[in-house]
């Protein structure tokens, strides 16, 4: 899913990079940059978690907290 979001956000960034805001004069593509950046960060996180599991580690992302 993250790869699909990343793949489809590239054309959006290309299309919006040609348009500038009339008030600020900066490219309007900056409003769409969080989507591919967030996707890359989540993909990086998943890569390291899978690598950790393949090396014999324990996935403790859902570790229970002690009650009391």
Full pLDDT tens readout for the chain, 68 residues: 899 999 999 999 999 988 898 888 888 888 999 999 999 999 999 999 999 999 988 877 666 555 54
pLDDT at 35: 92
User: b or e along 27-58 (b: 16 or more beta carbons within 10 Å of the residue's beta carbon)?
Assistant: bebeebeeebeebeeeeeeeeeeeeeeeeeee
């Amino acid at each position: 899913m993250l790869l699909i979001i990343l793949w489809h956000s590239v054309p959006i960034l290309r299309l919006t990079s040609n348009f500038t805001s009339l008030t600020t004069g900066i490219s309007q593509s900056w409003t769409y940059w969080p989507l591919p950046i967030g996707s890359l960060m989540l993909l990086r996180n998943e890569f390291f978690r899978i690598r950790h599991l393949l090396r014999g580690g324990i996935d403790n992302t859902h570790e229970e907290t002690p009650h009391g």
